[in-house]
Amino acid sequence: MCGIVGYVGSSADGKALDVVLEGLARLEYRGYDSAGVALVDGDHVSTRKKAGKLANLRAVLEEQPLEASSTGIGHTRWATHGGPTDANAHPHRGGTDGKLAVIHNGIIENFHSLKGELLDEGVAFASETDTEVVAQLLARAYDGDLTEAMRSVVARLEGAFTLLAVHADAPDVVVGARRNSPLVVGLGDGENFLGSDVAAFIGYTRNALELEQDQIVTITPAGATVVNFDGTPAQGKAFEVTWDAAAAEKGGYDTFMEKEIHEQPHAVGDTLLGRTDEDGHLVLDELRISEQQLKDIDRITIVACGTAAYAGMVAKYAIEHWTRIPVEVALAHEFRYCEPIVSERTLVVSISQSGETMDTLMAVKHARDLGALTVSVCNTHGSTIPRESDAVLYTHAGPEIAVASTKAFLAQITACYVLGLYLAQLRGGSYADDAAAVLKELHQVPGKIEQLLGSMGRVREIARFMADTRSVLFLGRHVGYPVAMEGALKLKELAYIHAEGFAAGELKHGPIALIEPGQPVFIVVPGPDTPHGLHGKVVSNIQEIRARGARTLVIAQEGDTAVEPFADEIIRVPATSPMLAPLLTVVPLQVFALHLSTAKGLDVDQPRNLAKSVTVE
């Protein structure tokens, strides 16, 4: 949430504005309520800012150009305190001499009392934001050393925040501070960068520094220095960004989401890569949790939000099946406040694409405080949740830019399968021997997704015909149930259509009242060899709703003829074993939401009100 960029370079180049705007373009997925920049310009700091997307700011910059500068900061906002107006757009100024500007991601929880104090002292405010309070405090604290000023101000702040500040009297300096909110450092040659994530500077350098919580970083053209909030010197942890700028570009597709849907074979394949030995056994040295500890686990709790939580629901079926360890899935924001029952024998698995989701982060911290072992399934190196966990299993989906998650979902499910099969292998039991066979089949899934993506023509047509539809329902059972929920979520967020996912068995307990003639219903059908006769039960559910006039859009495996008499449309997916089916059945639902959104002329990559990385509670 909120994208932040900071830059210092050589005064000969004066390219701060270009670098900051390029960074903002790459970070715009984090929030697009407004955008703004501040550049150090002689004895003052110049700002331009505008409500709406980055394009609006660019238009302002054309009308009112800024002088070339070598030091600047930029911000793209997801509004929390104060509406998405020009006045509330960042950067915010502190003091009255026009020398200081601040940008911020997060929430300053005690801003009311701080603002009251400043108002009593006669300070005037130009916005409704909590950020402006910080800017005013910084201006008052500044006494020739911006880092020291930042240190004294953060000591007074409660909440989660990333802050960047520039001051005209320190023209070659950008100071950043972070607490429970993302900030990474990019190290260039004679120029240095700060960003909410590495996308901010990937066009310039792949050398990066991770910061710990409660640290302040000061960048100059010559380097970066880090101190803890208490003033003790610290050092960031260096890492190399493994993807290049092209990975964060559309590569010929109209939207990032379409590109990311087509990257799904790689997301699954790369997440499996390097995790098996020659004999087909899983090797997860990266987990850094002893085999004995993993053998001793008697309970698993998965914490996540949104799409990642649906990946967790799929994982529950698979891990319980393979290991017989009870698995619970909790929405991270509920887990934190429900007195969860965990012990040192509980493995708490967090799932997060961004690694920054505040609710998930807080759930992980809570679990650790309660003594649980914590593993993070995460897509973003250098992010906070893996750092706060005992261990990490990275998904290798590459950068996900579209706000709606697609390839990360498949990679999360894959990583959870890997974790489940590894536990099965380690602990023995009936599934230990079968783990290798499941893994072998998993390796065939990328090819099947590729094949499936090549046959989406009819799904695109159905989406176009349904552009005026007001409500769509999704049904599934077993691992198809979270897929139905994910299909509904994609449609809500991308096409702004009422959509609900149900467990097909629950239908008769109420939701069937929603069915009226013409109501479109997607049904995710399990493969014919799914245990417990589930396939037959779902076929019966299709008949029940069709008898009441529903228009049935059936997602079924190739060769499943039993569904044919009851389907208005059949979308075929390649056959696979029941537990792995979500990696295929969700794909047509993603494609459907994408094309329905496009047919309605909506912004696929940046749907209204959303932001990619939810770093506030």
Cβ at position 572, least distance to ligand F6R in Å: 25
Cβ at position 494, least distance to ligand F6R in Å: 8
Active site amino acids: 2, 612
User: Is there a contact between 40 and 29 (Cβ–Cβ < 8 Å)?
Assistant: no
For residue 253, the SS3 value is coil
User: Is there a contact between 390 and 247 (Cβ–Cβ < 8 Å)?
Assistant: no
Positions in the binding site for ligand F6R (CB under 6 A): 305-308, 352-354, 357, 360, 404-405, 489, 493, 613-614
Cβ at position 311, least distance to ligand F6R in Å: 8
Cβ at position 305, least distance to ligand F6R in Å: 4
Q: How many other C-beta atoms can be found within 10 angstroms of the C-beta atom of residue 295?
A: 11
User: Is there a contact between 466 and 477 (Cβ–Cβ < 8 Å)?
Assistant: no
CA torsion angle 213 219 223 227 (round to 10)? -40
| Tokens (6 digits) for 497 | 């259509």
φ/ψ (deg, to 5) at 24: -65, -35
Q: Name which of 69 and 613 has its Cβ closer to ligand F6R.
A: 613
Rounded distance, CA 204 to CA 184, Å? 14
φ/ψ (deg, to 5) at 302: -100, 130
Q: Name which of 389 and 519 has its Cβ closer to ligand F6R.
A: 389
- Residue whose C-beta lies closest to ligand F6R: 306
Alpha carbon 138 to its chain centroid, in Å, reads 31
Rounded distance, CA 1 to CA 24, Å? 13
Three-state SS sequence of 56-121: HHHHHHHHCCCCCECEEEEEEECCCCCCCCCCCCCCEEECCCCCEEEEEEEEECCHHHHHHHHHHC
Cβ at position 30, least distance to ligand F6R in Å: 11
Cβ at position 407, least distance to ligand F6R in Å: 11
**Among candidate residues 294, 316, 288, 320, the one with its CA nearest the CA of residue 304:** 316
Q: For the chain, what is the total number of helices (H) and then of strands (E)?
A: 18, 25
